[in-house]
Structure 1
Amino acid sequence: MEYPLNSIQTQHRSATLDSFFKKQLELIFNKGDIRINGNRPWDIRVHDNRVFRRVITQGSLGLGESYMEKWWECDDLEEFFFRLLSAKCDEKVITPEWLIGRLIGKTCNLQHPSRAFQVGEHHYNTGNDLFACMLDKQMIYSCGYWKEADSLDEAQEKKLRLVFDKLCLREGMKVLDIGCGWGGAARFAAEQYNVSVTAITVSSEQAEVARERCAGLPVTVALCDYRTLQGMFDRIYSIGMFEHVGYKNYRTYFEVISRCLEPDGLSLLHTIGGNTTTTNGDPWSCKYIFPNSMLPSASQITQNYEGLFKLEDWHVFSHDYSLTLKAWHENVEKHWQTLQSRYTETFHRMWQYYLLSFSGAFRARSIELWQILLSKQGVRGEYRVPR
């Protein structure tokens, strides 16, 4: 069979470009000791040569989407990301998507009140069956505390006790839970510490389950944005919600906390954080997992509570989130045969990529886990923060 000359030339140019992009990606991966079509667990096996151009030109978005589409495989995705991010390979690729995201983040308030419920609808409403299989018995969707813990259930209970002991909860207190998830923390506080809790979320699915799980307890669950909060509370905590606030709204968040916290009150912020100041989130994560999300830097947090609060404690236990994410991944895989009737294989690969890439990022300390304890007036006398 004879091919037109221009068709042959096109194929040749395409193959040449694929070779060029492959060499570029090899140079980047070499920094993390990752090989293309290598035989080690963290090496990648390529099934479609278009992946090279896609990753070089689209960065994290191209890497994640091509994995979802089965263009490449990796036996140990968590180790792959640990090596990739430890060597800062991600910083070698600057794409139009990243630049556009940075521009949009600087010019627009992606977390405006009119957009507050998008992350709830997109992510937290994914399916209660999925989260029930993935999470611990209390359905806590945040980092566990693995000090002297042998299971996910133990790690999450230790985390809750850590939070509430830091807050010095006492019987009869009025407590505010911002971003309450499926109500696990609010229920635990009410049952174990005899406090009344007002809990809010932007997910209708979470609110429904939280009300069921907290029935009969002094817990009120509301579907609302934190900016609409009224009332006064002795203690306020937020566990895994601040990542959705956005840098344009950090000051507003702390002003709301200050407005609603009693003068002698304490507030605890449990959040993922970034090592550098940014104005936008990761393109793949924002598109597929957490719309409009971004990670605060330490300076963004301190600058925005300045004049409103005094810092009592800043606790870092980032590696614990890697352990938590791996436990979640193991649970999903264990239950996948039950879940696959509702969720597609593309979704399965997306979820694997999400959990294991985040786990690798925490292990590499590319991202951090912080618990920050704040007071309005400063704790009087000797106060040793629990660990």
Structure 2
Amino acid sequence: MEVLLKEADIVLNGSRPWDPQIHSNEFWTRLYGQGTLGLGEAYMDGIWDVEDMAEFFNKVLSSKVPEGIRATPNLIWQVVQARVLNMQNIARSRRVADMHYSETEAYKASLDARMTGSCGYWPDGVTNIDQAQEAKLDLVCRKIGVKPGQLVWDIGCGWGAFMGFAAEKYGARCVGVTVSPDQAAYGRERYKHLPIEFRVQDYREFGGKTDHVVSMGMFEHVGHKNYRAYFEKARSVIKDDGLFMMHTIGSQWSTETIEAWLEKYIFPGGVIPSIAQVGRAIDGLFTVIDLHNIGPHYDRTLCAWCENFERNWKKDRTPEEERFYRLWKYYLLCCAGGFRAKVLQVWQFVLSTRGVPDGYVTQR
């Protein structure tokens, strides 16, 4: 392992910001016994530290180091479950709300003023996370051509950032679905003066007709067994001249599960889709009229979230609170490293049921 780390320009207990500091030999027991799950839990327990975690993971993921970490029993069981069971059926989908989106206070400490829980957009002139999320929300509205009075369905609406922006800036009416009662309660109170409706329900339970559909940071929770059902639902509710903007994290590999630590602590049942998987799922349902990769913008977004979190989170912490603090930092910065290493992408698809008769004007 040390040879692989050296090839990745990483030195154990070295002096550079991305060199990890190992505090106990238990680190190796965790790593070799549990793989990446053990690596993350060892960090949560204070067994190792690194000053620049995002760059550490960038170097690890850009190298051959992952090849030196063998498959562990928990990973094998995770893959078997993903293949045999539908880990994201309607009943199991509630786990995401229980384990991830109930951490409202951590998100308030991390996110922008609108509580936008997906990748920001950092064009020239944008210097902070609030501006980056406003730029992203405006980009989405322009991509689907929102007009005053139109109804937009938001699949996985979160705390309502897109719906609030679209209603305020473009005069849209919006209805969003979330499996998190906490998110819906927050959004209903914040946007009670706007034509916005929050529904606590699975996307498969939604009905009606809508002018456009958007979905940001939701498809990663759908699961490979449900990709087709997700797009069929969107196709059944969108009007013939409507557009569907789907924003998702993406991978160059087709997989059926997610990294073990993220699956256990952050995204239960999560899967990062590939272009091939999306293509098969939309076959015969939608035409791709635009595809935009904004993956590098998520590195900057996650680092900005972590800066907010460290600045805003409580400084005096109990041992249990310290473990959560380290969990949250690990989540944000290991993901930032993944985007920096280009093993993760962010795709914005603009989909149409029959193409755009007068031609589509690309928005950037």
Into which bin does the TM-score normalised by the smaller protein fall? over 0.9
Aligned ranges for residues 43-82 of structure 1 at < 5 Å? 43-82=19-58
Aligned mates of 2:317, 2:160 — CA distance in 1: 26
1:85 aligns with 2:61: yes
Aligned mates of 1:279, 1:371 — CA distance in 2: 21
Aligned mates of 1:340, 1:306 — CA distance in 2: 51
What are structure 1's unaligned runs of at least 5 residues? 1-24
Q: CA deviation at 1:289?
A: 1.0
What are structure 2's unaligned runs of at least 5 residues? none
Q: CA deviation at 1:88?
A: 4.1
Q: Is the 8 A contact 2:289 2:360 kept in 1?
A: no
1:129-175 CA-to-partner distances (Å, cap 9, x unmatched) read 22122111111011000012111111000000100100001111111
Runs of 4+ in 1 over 6 A off after TM superposition: none
- Paired residue for 1:6? none
Q: CA deviation at 1:97?
A: 2.0
- Which among 193, 198, 205 is matched to residue 175 of structure 2? 198
Q: Is the 8 A contact 2:56 2:337 kept in 1?
A: yes
Change (3 A) 1:290 1:135: same
SS at match of 2:211: strand
Change (3 A) 1:339 1:214: farther
Supply the AA of the counterpart residue of 1:138.
R
Supply the AA of the counterpart residue of 1:145.
Y
Q: Percent identity?
A: 41
- Paired residue for 2:189? 212
- Report the aligned-residue RMSD: 1.4
Aligned mates of 2:9, 2:86 — CA distance in 1: 39
- Paired residue for 2:304? 327
Change (3 A) 1:288 1:179: same
Aligned mates of 2:4, 2:181 — CA distance in 1: 43
- Paired residue for 1:272? 249
Change (3 A) 1:216 1:339: farther
- Paired residue for 1:378? 355
Q: CA deviation at 1:235?
A: 0.2
SS at match of 1:384: coil
- Paired residue for 1:8? none
- Which among 100, 109, 128 is matched to residue 123 of structure 1? 100
1:32 aligns with 2:8: yes
Aligned ranges for residues 119-268 of structure 1 at < 5 Å? 119-126=96-103, 128-148=104-124, 149-268=126-245
Change (3 A) 1:340 1:135: farther
Q: Is the 8 A contact 1:308 1:376 kept in 2?
A: yes
Q: CA deviation at 1:270?
A: 0.4
Q: TM-score, normalised by structure 1?
A: 0.91
- Paired residue for 2:79? 102
**Mean Cα displacement is larger for which, 293-302 or 31-40?**
31-40
Supply the AA of the counterpart residue of 2:48.
W
Change (3 A) 1:66 1:212: same
SS at match of 1:222: strand
Whichever of the two has the greater Rg, that structure is 1
SS at match of 2:313: helix
Aligned mates of 1:312, 1:228 — CA distance in 2: 27
**Mean Cα displacement is larger for which, 89-98 or 109-118?**
89-98
SS at match of 2:240: strand
Aligned mates of 1:258, 1:137 — CA distance in 2: 32
Change (3 A) 1:141 1:102: same
SS at match of 1:251: helix
